[in-house]
Chain A
Amino acid sequence: MGILHYLVLSALLFAVGAVGVILKKNVISIFLCIELMLNAVNLSFIAFSRFLNQVNGQIVVFFVMVVAAAEAVVGLAITIALHRARNTLNVDDADIMKW
Chain B
Amino acid sequence: MIDYLWLIPLLPLAGSALNGLLGKRLSKRAISIIACGSSGAALLVALGAVSSLLQMPAEERHVIRHFFTWIASGDFIAKAEFLLDPLSAVMLLVVTGVGFIIHIYSIGYMHAENGYYRFFSYMNLFLFSMLVLVLADNFLLMFVGWEGVGLCSYLLIGYYFDRRSAGDAGKKAFIVNRIGDVGFVLGMLLVFATFNSLDFDAVFRQIASGTERFPFETGLGILGAIGLLLFIGATGKSAQIPLYVWLPDAMEGPTPVSALIHAATMVTAGVYMTVRCSPIFSRSEVAMDTVAIIGILTALLAATIAVAQTDIKRVLAYSTISQLGYMFVAAGVGACSAAIFHLMTHAFFKALLFLGAGSVIHSMSGEQDMMHMGGLRKSIPITCATMMIAALAISGIPPLAGFFSKDEILWSAWTHGHPIVWLVGFAVAGLTAFYMFRLIFLTFFGSQHFSEEVRHHVHESPFSMTMPLIALAILSVVGGLYGLPALLGVGENGFFKFLEPSLSLAYHPAVAELPHSLEWVFAGASVLIASLGIYLAFSIYVAHPEAAANWGGKARRLHQLLVRKYFVDEFYDAVVIKPTLTGSTELLWKGVDVGIIDGSVNGVGARVYGWARVLKFVQNGLVRSYAAWILLGAILILFYVAMAGH
Contact = CB atoms under 8 A, between A and B. Distances in A.
Interface of A: 18, 21-25, 30, 91-92, 94-99
B21 interface: no
A99 B619 contact: yes
Contact of B619 (A18, A25, A92, A98): A98
Nearest to B617: A99
A97 to B, nearest CB: 5
A91 B616 contact: no
Interface stretch (B451-459, B521-529, B623-631): B623-631
B621 to A, nearest CB: 3
Interface in B596-639: 616-617, 619-624, 627-628, 631
Interface of B: 616-617, 619-624, 627-628, 631
A94 B623 CA distance: 8
B366 to A, nearest CB: 73
B628 A22 contact: yes
Nearest to A23: B624
A96 B631 contact: no
Contact of A22 (B617, B619, B621, B631): B631
A30 B622 CA distance: 13
Nearest to B620: A98
B621 A98 contact: yes
Nearest to B631: A18
Contacts of B616: 99
A22 B628 CA distance: 6
A21 B627 contact: yes
Contact of A95 (B622, B627, B631): B622
Contacts of A98: 619-621
Contacts of A95: 620-623
Contacts of B622: 91-92, 95
A91 B627 CA distance: 12
A25 B631 CA distance: 17
Given A25-B624, A92-B624, 8 more contacts: A18-B631, A24-B624, A30-B623, A94-B621, A96-B621, A97-B619, A99-B619, A99-B620
19 contacts: A22-B624, A22-B627, A22-B628, A22-B631, A30-B623, A30-B624, A91-B623, A91-B624, A92-B622, A92-B624, A94-B621, A94-B623, A95-B620, A95-B621, A96-B621, A97-B621, A99-B616, A99-B619, A99-B620
A18 B630 CA distance: 10
Nearest to B628: A22
A18 B635 CA distance: 11
A95 B620 CA distance: 7
Contacts of A96: 621
Contacts of B620: 95, 98-99
A92 B619 CA distance: 13
A23 to B, nearest CB: 8
Contacts of B623: 30, 91, 94-95
Contacts of A24: 624
Contacts of B621: 94-98
A99 B624 CA distance: 16
A91 B617 CA distance: 18
Name the residue in A94, A95, A99 with the highest tally of chain B Cβ atoms < 10 Å from its Cβ. A99
Contacts of A91: 622-624
A21 to B, nearest CB: 5
Nearest to A27: B623
Contacts of A99: 616-617, 619-620
Nearest to A21: B627
A92 B621 CA distance: 8
A92 B631 CA distance: 18
Contacts of B619: 97-99
A94 B622 CA distance: 7
A18 B634 CA distance: 11
A98 B616 CA distance: 8
A22 B627 CA distance: 6
Nearest to B634: A18
A81 B623 CA distance: 16
Nearest to B623: A91
B639 to A, nearest CB: 14
Contacts of B624: 21-25, 30, 91-92
A91 to B, nearest CB: 5
A22 B622 CA distance: 10
Nearest to A19: B631
Nearest to A18: B631
A90 B138 CA distance: 87
Contacts of A92: 622, 624
A97 B627 CA distance: 15
A91 B117 CA distance: 81
Which 3 residue pairs across A and B have the least CB separation, nearest first?
A95-B621, A98-B621, A99-B616
Contacts of B617: 99
A93 to B, nearest CB: 10
Nearest to A33: B627
A24 B627 CA distance: 11
A23 B627 CA distance: 10
Contacts of A94: 621, 623
Contacts of A22: 624, 627-628, 631
A23 B622 CA distance: 12
A21 B622 CA distance: 12
Nearest to B632: A22
Contacts of A97: 619, 621
Nearest to A98: B621
A96 B620 CA distance: 8
Nearest to A96: B621
A49 B416 CA distance: 111
A94 B620 CA distance: 11
A26 to B, nearest CB: 11
A43 B196 CA distance: 84
B328 to A, nearest CB: 76
A23 B623 CA distance: 11
A21 B628 CA distance: 8
Name the residue in A23, A24, A30, A95 with the highest tally of chain B Cβ atoms < 10 Å from its Cβ. A95
A55 to B, nearest CB: 26
Contacts of B628: 22
Contacts of A25: 624
B500 to A, nearest CB: 89
Name the residue in A22, A25, A92, A95 with the highest tally of chain B Cβ atoms < 10 Å from its Cβ. A22
A42 B624 CA distance: 24
Nearest to B613: A99
Contacts of A30: 623-624
Contacts of B627: 21-22
